[in-house]
A and B are shown apart, each in its own frame.
Chain A
């Protein structure tokens, strides 16, 4: 078996982690890591463009925190307890303001499993109103896989949201208003985006992938639609869920929209021509191969998801 277990496998179950020995908590201390201050008071750690592995602790998503006058908001918390602990150490090295909010942008483990590191702060855990159901259904599945990959002590546990967002809401960090928006089914069925009014920075989490191959786990037309919803906010800059820590929105979203459009058009064509799903996964989207890191790890999955959605339209 492939010794490098993948995030795709973690999410969707393509590979087996059961053969990897489980270790206890790693000796490596949960010390601070480097972040970039992408706007005043907003610190983001760049996730590596890799699959989840034991050495990288599933620290593959862009995560960080926003500091207001009275409180700190974490978004996202990290890909594992170990990743979350390092984020918490980083926050404590930066500010002594209380960590009042921990956002879980969606159900995927690379964005949700750091949350357990913040339990001692007793924050409000914020998520989409469909997040709890998604975590209840998949959380244990993710936890087992993450534990097999990283060791039980480093994986973390499922943390449920205590503040559920339906539609839109605002959080005040003390002179700093953060808008939250619960999206329709897109990347997943529980995507939450944030907008910081002070800096004008948009934090769409995994609704925006830059250079790293996107994964489709919700709805393809839905995702294209939610990109329009985000566009309408009019933010000039954004923090992608994967990719550089901050980007100009318009040039960053264009390749994602192009890939999703190619995926939609070519899958629709395959469905109409009676090309089976087993063939379509080999042919659809190939023109995009050179433009994305980890293309081959996700494209076949994405085609499978797109196909089974579009064949019913």
Chain B
């Protein structure tokens, strides 16, 4: 998976150097060509089936803040879905996230916050347990989400790195699906931000792996990249089969590991 993300990142660098298309029809052709190249890199020759009724992708048509675009992926038959890919074609690293569900997941709805660098197609691809791929696409108007840096200095951005928060969006009920939001404090530096003291560009440092388990059983695993917004947020569902501990292990591209356990039901709320 790591290799695939890297390959896609390279592809992003190469293709963004191509001259921009002049006309709308050319733009559509260029988008189709780009997606063809991307999908081959990520999925090889596997067919991508029409995801209507299977997977849907919600995002604002025009982003308010290109550095934080809230997106929602809804899976009609979540239990049959083993993983979901989010691909933002025009981003420097187009494969924004790949999420694999564990046995305790209730994969009905997923929310992420992403950076969008240019007017772009965005695809959600759901992979079912039998290995079929279902795709849905949206076009989104936003630009500058990757090249526009976070609005604070490194010291402020790094303050509290690895802190986590868990918000339960429904009351905790044993054996019934629970929707939760996980926030991870992390600047997700994308390599385009400058350190104010050294006046050097801060090297990319971003969350690249997250594992969420409940009482030791996998809820989900996420591979991610610089397309996730500063302080990554993920909203997901799972089924608690009793009180216990939701454990999060997040890993960043510099090899730092952040762990946090949340005892459920939460007592602080």
Chain A interface (Cβ < 8 Å from any Cβ of B) = 1, 9, 12-16, 18, 130, 132-134, 136-138, 141, 145, 185, 188-189, 217-218, 274, 276-278, 281, 300-301, 303-305, 308, 311-312
Contact = CB atoms under 8 A, between A and B. Distances in A.
Nearest to B116: A13
Tell me whether chain B's interface is mostly helix, strand or loop, or mixed.
Answer: loop
A215 to B, nearest CB: 11
A277 B63 CA distance: 12
A14 B62 contact: yes
B169 A274 contact: yes
Contacts of B199: 132-133, 136
A14 B66 contact: yes
Given A132-B199, A276-B70, A14 B64 contact: yes
A307 to B, nearest CB: 9
B65 A301 contact: yes
A301 to B, nearest CB: 5
21 contacts: A9-B143, A12-B67, A13-B143, A13-B144, A13-B148, A14-B63, A14-B141, A14-B142, A16-B143, A18-B143, A130-B153, A145-B144, A189-B151, A189-B153, A278-B72, A281-B64, A301-B64, A303-B64, A305-B151, A308-B231, A311-B165
Contact of B194 (A15, A137, A217, A300): A137
Contact of A277 (B70, B160, B193): B70
A175 B151 CA distance: 38
B134 interface: no
Nearest to A10: B144
Interface of B: 20, 58, 60, 62-68, 70, 72, 111, 113, 118-119, 141-145, 147-149, 151-153, 156, 160, 163, 165, 167-169, 181, 183, 185, 192-196, 199, 229-231, 235
A161 B194 CA distance: 16
A218 B63 CA distance: 19
A143 to B, nearest CB: 12
B142 A308 contact: no
A134 B119 CA distance: 25
A228 B118 CA distance: 39
Contact of B65 (A12, A136, A138, A189): A12
Nearest to B145: A13
A305 B148 contact: no
Contact of A138 (B68, B148, B156, B183): B148
Contact of A141 (B144, B152, B231): B144
Closest 3 pairs (CB-CB, A-B): A13-B144, A133-B196, A300-B64
A189 B156 CA distance: 11
Contacts of B70: 276-278
Given A133-B195, A137-B193, A312-B231, A15 B62 contact: yes
